Chain A
Amino acid sequence: MSIKLAADHIEAINRHGEEAYPEECGGLLLGILEDGVRVIREVLPLHNIRKDSRHNRVELDPLDYARAEREAAKRGLGVWGYYHSHPNHPAVPSRFDLEHAPFTEWSYIIVSVLEGKAADVRAWTLREDRSQFDEETL
């Protein structure tokens, strides 16, 4: 499996990360599965519903997810992953990310935002046995 993400999608993720800094942010990746490749067609920024620890935690609203699925389905798309930001931390999944990653079928994009500037974007996928993430090429 791998992921295909256009430059303007990466740009949208960077921008969201910078706007939310010093807090974390997140959103969904909508697209299609084509020959085993997750082809992303749209980046959907969402609200961080965490009330506390927003500088190191992000959580999306389950109802936002449900709406995104419904809207995506109307356009023949699906939810194939999600992205979130790591303010002042590398674009590498944390133990918390590993414990909270829902699907082995998804792509996980992390943007590192250093001192308010998006510095690095990397993509990851969850191993079948959920033991760790492997990096995907962007």
Chain B
Amino acid sequence: MPKISVPTALRQYIGGETTVDVQGDKIGEALNSLTAQYPELKKHLFDAEGRLRNFVNIYVNDEDIRYQQREDTPIKESDEISIIPSIAGGVTAENRIKEAVLPELNNDEIARYSRHLIMPEVGMEGQRKLKSASILLIGAGGLGSPLGLYLAAAGIGRLGLVDFDVVDHSNLQRQVLHGTKDVGRPKLHSAKDRLADINPHVQIDTYELALRSDNALKIVREYDVIIDGTDNFQTRYLANDASVLEGKPNVYGSIFRFDGQASVFYPKAGGPCYRCLYPEPPPPGLVPSCAEGGVLGILPGIIGVIQATEAIKLIIGQGETLIGRLLLFDALKMRFKELKLRRNPECPLCGENPTIKELIDYDQFCGITPPAAQPQAAEISDWEITPAQLKERLDLGERVTIIDVREPHEWQIANLENYGSRLIPLGQFGDRVNELNPEDEIVVHCKMGGRSAKAYEVMKKAGFKKIKNLKGGILAWADQVDRGMPKY
């Protein structure tokens, strides 16, 4: 017969024994058998509605039934069933002895935030905490848009925005902070206009610069919560390292095509950091950016709003945050998954013997050549050809075989078919390179020049000599040769 062990405090209701023999094949039956023998126990284990009280955990061996099949969890003769209280405590902020002085809310603000104020989890105190809080948004793009909109609306006292980009037509499909009339304006200008309109009570401080090792700590230091809405690995590691070094929570989100991720990195509160999850960046070019791979416009809305939710929970001190959990979202399957993240004791940043104690060179760390070290735009390596040079040769009637290594759906947007271009997607390129004649003059291109550089390498290895890579890809062609060509 299975046995249930009962905690000390409840043994007086079972005649001072430590365990009770019970009957049943499932936990629910075993508990019924227990309370049938000792009815006094019932009110201690179950609430008035007959549900297990929130502090009662039932373990089968070392496993909580909540993570198995709850009351339907099967039990065997030999299983050890234990009733274990969950034990938690904590101060409530109302009776704090030394409390930082929280700002008052005026009548306008009380009216504005009333749906927050009537929930005890936020209330006046939580709303005043939001007002006293400051959040730094790194990036005013896809993720930064919903973040900015909702955090401003929620009444965060001070929002800092870092971005140096200009609004482009291709941003409007997802960057809902900016409108059609803003195309060509600095993103921070349109962001500031929009956020001030949503909530004039919010102080908005803008930093029109690229976050770098020499300015990041100074900016991060001024804020309570850091939110990473970046689209490149250099800035992501920089944001992580600066947050850890300054002891700030870093609310992370990333998006690509139909997939998104979110977490909260906060080693000071016992959680892991981004480096615990990804110790090294991927080799440059391996992971495509959204500009190369695309992104569903709605996706940053979902992930950004999750990040905003986490930031608010961190500030008002409510609920369970994503510290130590990585949330994965698949928009096509419409599924959320969750992974446990553990702090890596060997982490060079937040581990037991950290070796990174100041910010490093993130371009170098990510294997990116900084722009200054690159050849001038006018310069051209001998393996490349500019759109203007290609056009000139075509106009002279030279026979040039143009190979487009993009995907078929990109071909449909814009292509060089008029010049006899052929499509061989990069994924098939290795297998199909023998379709090409090494005697021909061949120019390969893609959207921006990255994928075609790989195709170039494949041909070079296969012994091709008369090959060139179109510098800047079809986008450069659209800018420099065919202004009527659509850009994407």
Q: Which residues of A contact B (CB under 8 A)?
A: 24, 26, 28, 50-54, 56-60, 62-63, 65-66, 69, 72-73, 78-80, 82, 84, 86-90, 92-97, 100-106, 108, 110, 114-115
B90 contacts which of A53, A60, A66, A80 (Cβ < 8 Å)? A53
CB contact list, B257-271 vs A, under 8 A? 264, 266, 269-271
For the complex, is B324 an interface residue (Cβ under 8 Å from A)? yes
Residues of A within 8 Å of B97, CB to CB, are 88-90, 114
What separation, in Å, do the CA atoms of A58 and B95 have in the docked complex?
17
Whether the Cβ atoms of B317 and A60 lie closer than 8 Å is no
Ranked 3 nearest A-B pairs via Cβ? A78-B8, A102-B85, A94-B92
Given contacts A105-B9, A106-B9, contact A52 B323 (CB under 8 A): yes
The chain A residue sitting closest to B321, CB to CB, is A52
Given contacts A89-B97, A103-B9, is CB(A62)–CB(B64) below 8 Å? yes
Q: How far is the CB of B45 from chain A (nearest CB, A)?
A: 10
| Interface assignment of B358: CB less than 8 Å from any CB of chain A | no
Decide if B87 touches A26 in the complex (CB within 8 Å).
Answer: yes
B270 & A51 in contact (Cβ 8 Å cutoff): yes
Minimum CB distance partner of A99 in chain B: B54
Cα A111 to Cα B47 with chains together (Å) = 30
Instruction: List the one stretch of B55-63, B287-295, B410-418, B440-448 in contact with chain A.
Output: B55-63
Stretch binding the partner chain, chosen from B10-18, B156-164, B210-218, B453-461: B10-18
Most interface-central of B10, B92, B323 (chain A CB within 10 A)? B92
- Partner among B8, B320, B323 whose Cβ is within 8 Å of the Cβ of A80: B8
**Chain B residue with the shortest CB-CB distance to A96:** B90
Q: Which residues of B contact A104 (CB under 8 A)?
A: 44
Would B59 and A62 count as touching, CB distance under 8 A?
Answer: yes
Contact A94 B95 (CB under 8 A): yes
With an 8 A cutoff between CB atoms, is B282 at the interface? no
Q: Which residues of B contact A100 (CB under 8 A)?
A: 54-55, 86-89
Interface residues of B in 59-85 (CB under 8 A from A): 59, 62, 64, 82, 84-85
- Decide yes or no whether B5 CB sits under 8 A from chain A: yes
A52 touches B266 (CB 8 A): yes
Is B93 positioned at the interface, with any CB of A under 8 Å from its CB? yes
With A53-B90, A58-B90 in contact, is A80–B57 under 8 Å at CB? no
CA distance A80 to B44 in the complex (A): 16
Contact B64 A103 (CB under 8 A): no
Q: Is B91's CB within 8 Å of the partner chain A?
A: yes
